[in-house]
Structure 1
Amino acid sequence: MGGNSVVVVNMKMVDSNMKSKHLQDMISYACGKKKELFVLYYASPLSDLDTHLVLDLAIYGADEIDPDMNLVKGCGGSLRREKVIEVCCKKLVVIVDETKLVDYVGGSRLAMSVEIVSFCWKFTTQKLQSLFEEADCVPKLCVLPKNGKAYVIDNGNFIINLYFKKDIGGLKVVDDAISRPANVVDHGMMFIDMVTTLIVAGELGARVRNKC
C-alpha cells in the first residue's frame, strides 16, 4: 500500500472490516518506513517481500494519471520501493480524485520526482535538465522545509524534482533516456502499463476503469 489521502481512507475501511471479521487472513506490506507505522496501526499484520514473494494486490494513489492510465508517482520518495512492489503484485489498484487526471504526463506542472544517489548530485541534476531542454525543464533538489538540507529518503538517496512547461513526448523513449545516467536509481514519472484498475473519486461518486 501507498500513503496518499485516498488510500489512507481505504485502509481505515480495511481495518474496520477486519475488526468486524468481514475480512480475514490479510497480511500487508508497506513501501516506506512511515507507511509501515500506519499499516501497523490501522490495518493487518505487516510482512515483507522476502517472506511473501508474490502479492495479491497493491493499492496506491498517484500524483498524475493520463488517459492511458500511465502514472506519475513518487513525490513521497518511495520510487524504487513502489516499483518493486508493483512488479511483485498480481493486481495494481490506483485510487485518485479527479484533480489527478491530466491530458498528458506532466500536464499538471507538478513535480516529477527522480531518485538519485547523493554522490555528484549536481552533475546528475544538470544532466537531467539537458535531457528535457525542449520541455523547458527546471530541476530542483528536494529539501527539508525546516532547515533547507537535502531530503534523504528511506533508501539513503536524494530526490530531484523536475518541472516541465511543455509536453515531454513519447513516454517509453523518455523512460529509457531518464534511466541512463549512472547516478539515477529510478524515477516516478512513468509507471507505464502497470495499472490493473483505476478508481476515480468525484463530486458525483466513484468511477471504476479496468485495464482492457
Structure 2
Amino acid sequence: MTAGVDPVKLMKQEVGKAAADRVQSGTIVGLGTGSTTAYTIQFLGDRLKSSELKDIVGIPTSFQAAVLAKQYGIPLTTLDAVDHIDIAIDGADEVDPQKNLIKGGGAAHTREKIVDYLADQFIVVVDSSKIVDRLGSSFAVPVEVIPMAISPVMRAIEKLGGKPELRMGVKKAGPVITDQGNMVVDVRFDSIDNPAELEKTLNNIPGVLENGIFVGVTDLVLIGEVQDGKPVVKEM
C-alpha cells in the first residue's frame, strides 16, 4: 500500500466504486448522501467521462449529492420528470442481518427514503463498522420534525420510551436545519424489537415528516473492510 494513504479512505473508495460499476448506460440513478456515496458519484462521473457509461441521469437525495453530481458532470433530473428510478445507491449508519437500516446521520433521510423506496434496485454501501445485530445498538434514530411541533413530538417520543435530543449544528449556532427547512431529533431506544412497527409509529406522530428507519427496501449491501491493510468488498 502507498505510504501515507489512509486504508479507511481507500476502502470507502473501493466500495463506492463497486457500486458505481453496477450502474448501466441509459438508467436513472438515485444518488445518495454521505462520504462513501460521494465516491460512487465521483466514479460515475469518471465512467461518463471515459464514455464507458452513457445516458445516465441522476436524482440527488440532498444538496450535497446535487453539488457533487454537478462537479463530476452527471446530468440531473427531478421526480416530476421521470416515472421510475432504475437503481439507487446510498450509505447507511446501521445495517441489521435483515438488511434493515438506520439512516439520517447526514439529516437527508427524508429525501433518501423517497428516492430509495422508488428505485427498482437499492444498493447500500457501508464499511463493516455499520453492521449491527439489531438496529439502534449504536446509532440513534433520526426523526425529521417541522419546527412548530418540536415540543409535542419530543413529549410523544418520550411516551414511546425513546430519549429524544434535538440535533445541534456544528460550526453553526442553533439546531441543524434540513434541506426541507425542518429540524432533526435524534432518538435513542433501549432496544428496537420491531423496526417496521416503530417506523410507522414514529411517522404517525403529528408534526413528524419522516424517520431514519428503512425496512424491507434494501436489495444488496456492499460492505468494505480493511484486511491486512488492503481494502476488500463483500456482499450481503
TM-score, scaled to structure 2: 0.81
Once the two structures are TM-superposed, the CA of residue 80 in structure 1 deviates from its matched residue by 1.9
Q: What residue in structure 1 maps to residue 53 of structure 2?
A: 23
Encode CA deviations 1:182-201: one digit per residue, 9 max, x unaligned.
1111100x211101111001
Aligned to 1:177: 201
- Show the counterpart of 1:102: 132
Of 1-10 and 65-74, more deviation after overlay is shown by 1-10
Q: Which deviates more, 30-39 or 138-147?
A: 138-147
Q: 1:153 aligns with which of 170, 178, 195?
A: 178
2:234 aligned residue: 207
Match of 1:85 in 2: 115
Matched, 1:192 2:221: no
Equivalent of 2:76 in 2, 25, 46: 46
1:36 to 50, 66, 82: 66
Identity of aligned residues (%): 25
Matched AA of 2:188: Y
Tell me by how many angstroms 1:168 deviates: 2.0
The CA deviation at 1:147 is: 4.3
Q: How far apart, CA to CA, are the structure 2 residues paired with 1:95 and 1:160?
A: 24
**Do the aligned partners of 1:93 and 1:198 also contact (CA within 8 Å) in 2?**
yes
- Residue in 2 aligned with 1:9? 39
Aligned equivalents of 1:208, 1:163: Cα separation in 2 = 29
Aligned mates of 2:194, 2:55 — CA distance in 1 = 42
Contact 2:45–2:69 (CA under 8 A) maintained in structure 1: no
Deviation at 1:177, TM superposition (A): 1.7
Q: What per-residue deviation string (whole Å, max 9, x for no partner) do you get for residues 16-42 of structure 1?
A: 111111111111110112321111112
What is the alpha-carbon distance in structure 2 between the residues aligned to residue 169 and residue 180 of structure 1? 18
Unmatched tracts of structure 1, length 5 or more:
none
Instruction: Give yes or no for contact 1:11–1:43 (8 Å, CA) kept in 2.
Output: no
Paired residues of 2:63 and 2:179 also in contact (CA < 8 A): yes
| Contact 1:62–1:94, Cα closer than 8 Å, also in 2 | yes
Equivalent pairs, count: 202
2:149 aligns to what? Answer: 120
Say whether the 8 Å CA contact 1:28–1:43 is kept in structure 2: no
Runs of 4+ in structure 1 displaced over 4 angstroms?
none
In structure 1, the partner of 2:22 is none
Which ranges of structure 2 fall in alignment gaps of 5 or more residues? 1-30
**Preserved contact between residue 113 and residue 187 of structure 1 (Cα < 8 Å):** yes
Give a deviation string over 1:115-154, Cα, whole Å, max 9, x none: 111113112112112212xxxx321111213343122111
State the Cα deviation string for residues 159-192 of structure 1 (Å, max 9, x = none).
001123x21211222122212211111100x211
Aligned residues: CA RMSD = 1.4
Q: Is the 8 A contact 1:114 1:184 kept in 2?
A: yes
Q: Which moved more, 1:27-36 or 1:89-98?
A: 27-36
- Secondary structure (helix, strand or coil) at the match of 2:197 reads helix
2:170 equivalent to 1:140? no
